[in-house]
């Protein structure tokens, strides 16, 4: 190997190390203050406020926009079809199923024995099947209550996502299946709506951030940052015992819902969540030879079969 090639390899390795260090999600679950929890509860309660209870025009407009965005996300991502395929594949029509963060309950008729769980008390009016008020981080159900669960575009809004995953495993029976489809890898700029707002609304720093987004969202840039971070997690995954969930904490925008995930509180990576389950003995049923690796490709959801250790 000549000197020029050695220099190129060393430089590339150094660059990759720097990218990995900046891309790695360092945050883990931390206790929330009562004030933080109450702020989130009030936000999601107002997002689904009923027309009759909305005393101000702005409240009704906020609810209409929130529901419209949710409906568009369902349609654009073919959520109902994907969850229906999940139900059919695992023969869940007659099994007990939990919808974590069920919102307006638009998936409640996909199975007979359905339970919706949501943090907002104002969504109850959308249900003709069982609805339970509660948080994903403290589910009001006994251990091993359900045969299956799904959670769609929810975990990116949960302040302590690892605690929510623990609760998910706790309320599911041994052999149960769960389908998880949060908004993966939410960018930090979503809260301020940089992609959808004009340059004129930002100061100099904001203009620079907006100008950098086309470069930062290229396939090459996204692949480099994610793969480098996943390689670090892959090394940690080789160690014995359960791993901790690492993610990026975001500052949610509870005032202006500029775009989907403006209200996200964290950014989760699919590989990280998959590794969290597998380190506990669970099985990823949506991971093939490619998607089960650090290069994880489609499908966007994770399907996990829970394997609980015997007592």
What percent of the chain clears pLDDT 90, i.e. is strictly above it? 49
Structure confidence at residue 10 as a pLDDT band (50, 70, 90): very low
| 90 has a pLDDT exceeding 70 | yes
Domain segments of the chain as ranges: 26-191+242-305
284 strand-pairing partners: 304
Q: Are 156 and 186 in contact (CB under 8 A)?
A: yes
Q: Mean pLDDT throughout 55-67?
A: 49
- Most confident segment among 11-20, 117-126, 140-149, 244-253: 140-149
Model-level pTM? 0.79
Query: 9: buried, middle or exposed (CB in 10 Å: 19+, 13-18, 0-12)?
Result: exposed
In whole angstroms, what is the distance from residue 302 CA to residue 217 CA? 23
pLDDT of residue 53: 45
| 110 has a pLDDT exceeding 80 | yes
pLDDT of residue 300: 84
User: The domain at 26-191+242-305 falls in which architecture?
Assistant: 3-Layer(aba) Sandwich (3.40)
More confident residue, 24 or 182: 182
pLDDT of residue 50: 46
Structure confidence at residue 31 as a pLDDT band (50, 70, 90): low
pLDDT of residue 51: 39
Q: Give the per-residue SS3 of the chain.
A: CCHHHHHHHHHHHHHHHHHHHHHCCCECCCCCCHHHHHHHHHHHHHHCCCCCCCCCHHHHHHHHHHHHHHHHHHHHHCHHHHHHHHHHHCCCCCCEEEEECCCCCCCHHHCCEEEEEECCHHHHHHCCCEEEECECCECCCCCCCEEEEEEECCHHHCCCHHHHHHHHHHHEEEEEEEEEECCCCCCHHHCCCCCCCCHHHCCHHHHHHHHHHHHHCCHHHHHHHHHHHHHHHHHHHCCCCCCCCCEEECCCCCCCCCCCCCCCCEECCHHHHHHHHHCCCCEECCCCCCCCCCCCCCCCCEEEECCCCCC
| 117 has a pLDDT exceeding 90 | yes
| 78 has a pLDDT exceeding 90 | no
pLDDT of residue 74: 61
User: Would strands 113-118 and 96-100 be described as parallel, antiparallel, or unpaired?
Assistant: parallel
| 289 has a pLDDT exceeding 60 | no
Q: Write out pLDDT tens, residues 220-262.
A: 777 777 777 777 777 766 777 888 899 999 999 888 888 888 9
More confident residue, 78 or 245: 245
In whole angstroms, what is the distance from residue 120 CA to residue 135 CA? 9
Structure confidence at residue 4 as a pLDDT band (50, 70, 90): low
More confident residue, 309 or 73: 309
Locate tokens 């041994």: which residue?
174
pLDDT of residue 220: 79
- Of 47-51, 146-150, 197-201, 274-278, least confident by mean pLDDT is 47-51
| 191 has a pLDDT exceeding 50 | yes
pLDDT of residue 258: 86
pLDDT of residue 162: 94
Q: Mean pLDDT throughout 108-128?
A: 94
In whole angstroms, what is the distance from residue 115 CA to residue 160 CA? 22
Structure confidence at residue 290 as a pLDDT band (50, 70, 90): very low
CA dihedral 180, 185, 189, 192 (to 10 degrees): 0
- The per-residue pLDDT of the chain, averaged, comes to 81
Phi and psi at residue 209, in whole multiples of 5°? -65, -45
| 16 has a pLDDT exceeding 50 | no
pLDDT of residue 291: 47
Contacts with 140 (C-beta within 8 Å, 6 or more apart), sequence order: 132, 134
């Amino acid at each position: 190997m000549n000197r020029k090639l050695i220099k190129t390899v060393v430089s590339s390795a150094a660059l990759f190390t720097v990218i990995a260090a900046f891309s790695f999600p360092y945050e883990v679950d931390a206790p929330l203050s009562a004030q933080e929890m109450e702020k989130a509860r009030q936000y999601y309660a107002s997002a689904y406020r009923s027309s009759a209870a909305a005393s101000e025009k702005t409240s009704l407009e906020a609810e209409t926009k929130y529901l419209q965005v949710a409906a568009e996300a369902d349609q654009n991502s073919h959520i109902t079809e994907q969850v229906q395929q999940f139900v059919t594949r695992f023969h869940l029509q007659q099994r007990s199923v939990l919808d974590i963060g069920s919102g307006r309950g638009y998936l409640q008729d996909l199975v007979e024995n359905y339970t919706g769980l949501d943090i907002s008390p104002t969504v109850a009016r959308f249900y003709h099947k069982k609805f339970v008020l509660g948080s994903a981080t403290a589910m009001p159900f006994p251990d091993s209550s359900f045969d299956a669960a799904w959670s769609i575009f929810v975990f990116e809004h949960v302040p302590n996502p690892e605690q929510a995953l623990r609760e998910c495993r706790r309320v599911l029976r041994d052999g149960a299946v769960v389908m998880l489809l949060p908004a993966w890898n939410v960018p930090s700029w979503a809260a301020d709506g940089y992609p959808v707002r004009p340059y004129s609304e930002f100061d100099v720093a904001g203009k620079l951030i907006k100008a950098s987004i086309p470069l930062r969202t290229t396939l090459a840039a996204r692949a480099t940052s994610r793969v480098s971070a996943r390689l670090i997690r892959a090394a940690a995954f080789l160690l014995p015992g359960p791993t901790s969930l690492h993610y990026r904490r975001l500052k949610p925008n509870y005032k202006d819902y500029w775009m989907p995930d403006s209200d996200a509180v964290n950014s989760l990576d699919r590989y990280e969540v998959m590794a969290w389950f597998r380190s506990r003995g669970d099985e990823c049923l949506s991971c093939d030879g490619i998607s089960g690796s650090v290069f994880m490709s489609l499908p966007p959801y994770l399907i996990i079969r829970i394997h609980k250790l015997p007592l």
